């Protein structure tokens, strides 16, 4: 009986407190909802590569990296957020390489011209390294990857001091654009001479104009503070970039043109498997030094044995192609990935098998212009196939690939690549 009275008393007290303090209850519910929204926004910021502070968002890309030239590369970077200003922003980074014992930095800023189209005018000054033969799309700077495994093995860099002014603009809900005018001083960190007639260049100046377009007809984007964020990732995607170099403009040494193209398509099958197809192509004409030509995304270290070459597999790289083995002034690559349905061993342990084939074809005119470094061309079809077993333990997995066809090597073991993979997502 006493127990029953005690329960009734507790019930009465609870209902009485609730009736006398309805505002407090609503306030508590409101606080819970606001906390949930804040946590969701925080995770979204982390997923986009930024750790938010009061007036400043730290850029996670600059915290820790590693490559063969700089060794450990670490530093800080970031950009101001809308608490600082919705119309103006300041961005930059400062990093240090422990192997080359040199600091690199960039400082820049921008102001918004149109909010609905997220139109920004940006300026920057950069003193840093860039991989020789890499060709990046301007619009890719808006997207973030937690881990870029191929960077670990890169050893061929050139220093550049670049001053630039650019315009980024969302033409439509599915079409992003970025235009940039830049002046660069290039200094290769390796022995290289670019020969044009009677002139030999081991350092050079470039003045370029770029325009980059990314069309994602089925994706969805939204404006997150001062950045465009892809909220629905859909396929196909198309990216194109045109680069023009101008001789004698601001002291530029060369006149050249480049056209780069990439398309990605993904097919989702009924059995929960997916097929991903990536086609990349580029063509350069005119007086183009090796620094601004193309490699084919190699990711194999020049070591004697398979175990010595054991490293991290890239996301879209040729695992059996050795670094600095091939360069081209026109090339195309095709990558096919088939993701099988994950094996459900348990709720936490769900490894996934991925079947992969990659192909590359290219050419190089006037190869004798490039002196001091030895490399081959991709006149024949380069082929490799293999598989990955991903998410075996804490996001880690294993990768196996074999090189065959026109560039099969005499020693059987030199055609193999055995590496580990790393996949993580928020």
Residues 169 and 117: beta-carbon distance below 8 Å: yes
For 322-333, the DSSP string reads ETTSB-BSEEEE
pLDDT at 106: 97
pLDDT at 28: 63
Quote the Cα angle for 223-224-230, to 5°: 70
pLDDT at 372: 94
Contacts of 58-62 with CB under 8 Å at 24 or more apart are 59/91, 59/93, 60/144, 60/146, 61/144, 62/93, 62/95
pLDDT at 12: 42
Q: Residue 197: exposed, middle, or buried by beta-carbon count in 10 A (0-12, 13-18, 19+)?
A: exposed
CA distances (Å), origin 35, targets 22, 29, 222: 20, 10, 22
| Angstrom distance (rounded) from CA 147 to CA 138 | 19
Quote the Cα angle for 231-236-241, to 5°: 95
Average pLDDT over residues 253-276: 95
**How much of the chain, in percent, has pLDDT values that exceed 90?**
65
| Angstrom distance (rounded) from CA 154 to CA 69 | 7
Q: Which of 399, 396, 401 is nearest to 423 (CA)?
A: 396
pLDDT at 245: 97
Q: Residue 128: exposed, middle, or buried by beta-carbon count in 10 A (0-12, 13-18, 19+)?
A: middle
For residue range 323-370, what is the model confidence (pLDDT) as tens digits?
A: 999 999 999 999 999 999 999 888 888 999 999 999 999 999 989 999
Average pLDDT over residues 410-421: 92
Task: Sketch the domain layout of the chain as residue ranges.
Answer: 294-426
| Angstrom distance (rounded) from CA 287 to CA 80 | 39
| Angstrom distance (rounded) from CA 134 to CA 142 | 18
Q: Where is average pLDDT lowest: 16-30, 68-82, 235-249?
A: 16-30
DSSP state letter for 342: P
| Angstrom distance (rounded) from CA 314 to CA 148 | 7
Residue with token string 């004409």: 285
Average pLDDT along the chain? 87
Tokens of 387: 């598989």
From the CB of residue 210, how many other CB atoms can be counted at a distance below 10 Å?
20
Tokens of 237: 């995607």
Q: Where is average pLDDT lowest: 38-47, 84-93, 106-115?
A: 38-47
Residues 309 and 301: beta-carbon distance below 8 Å: yes
The reported pTM is 0.84
Please, what sign has the CA dihedral across residues 83, 85, 87, 93? negative
pLDDT at 123: 98
- Residue bearing the bigger pLDDT, 16 or 422: 422
């Amino acid at each position: 009986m006493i127990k029953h009275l005690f329960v009734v008393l507790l019930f009465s007290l609870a209902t009485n407190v609730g009736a006398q303090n309805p505002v407090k209850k609503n306030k508590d519910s409101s606080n819970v909802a606001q906390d949930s929204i804040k946590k969701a926004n925080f995770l979204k910021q982390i997923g986009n590569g930024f750790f938010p502070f009061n007036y400043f968002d730290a850029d996670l890309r600059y915290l820790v990296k590693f490559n063969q030239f700089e060794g450990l590369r670490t530093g800080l970077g970031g950009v101001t957020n809308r608490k600082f200003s919705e119309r103006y922003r300041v961005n930059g980074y400062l990093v240090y390489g422990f192997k080359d014992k040199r600091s690199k930095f960039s400082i820049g800023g921008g102001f918004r011209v149109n909010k609905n189209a997220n139109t920004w005018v940006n300026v920057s000054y950069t003193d840093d390294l860039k991989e020789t033969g890499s060709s990046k799309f301007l619009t890719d700077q808006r997207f973030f990857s937690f881990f870029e495994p191929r960077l670990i093995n890169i050893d061929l860099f050139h220093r550049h001091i670049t001053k630039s002014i650019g315009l980024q603009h969302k033409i439509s809900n599915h079409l992003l654009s970025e235009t940039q005018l830049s002046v660069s001083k290039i200094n290769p960190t390796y022995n290289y001479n670019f020969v044009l007639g009677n002139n030999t260049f081991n350092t050079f100046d470039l003045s370029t104009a770029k325009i980059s377009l990314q069309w994602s007809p089925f994706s969805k984007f939204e404006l997150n503070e001062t950045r465009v964020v892809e909220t629905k990732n859909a396929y196909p995607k198309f990216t194109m970039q045109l680069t023009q170099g101008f001789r004698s403009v601001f002291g530029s040494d060369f006149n050249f043109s480049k056209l780069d193209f990439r398309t990605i398509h993904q097919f989702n099958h009924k059995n929960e498997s997916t097929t991903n197809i990536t086609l990349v192509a580029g063509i350069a004409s005119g007086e183009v030094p090796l620094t601004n030509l193309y490699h084919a995304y190699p990711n194999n270290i020049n070591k004697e044995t398979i175990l010595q070459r054991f490293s991290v597999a890239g996301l879209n790289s040729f695992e059996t192609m050795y670094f600095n083995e091939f360069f081209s002034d026109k090339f195309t690559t095709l990558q096919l990935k088939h993701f099988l349905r994950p094996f459900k061993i348990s709720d936490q342990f769900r490894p996934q098998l991925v079947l992969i084939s990659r192909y590359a074809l290219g050419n190089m005119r006037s190869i004798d212009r490039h002196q001091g470094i030895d490399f081959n061309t991709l006149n024949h079809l380069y082929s490799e196939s293999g598989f990955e077993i991903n998410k075996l333990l804490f996001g880690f997995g294993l990768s196996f690939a074999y090189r065959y066809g026109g560039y099969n090597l005499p020693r059987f073991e030199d055609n193999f690549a055995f590496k580990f993979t790393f996949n993580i997502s928020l």
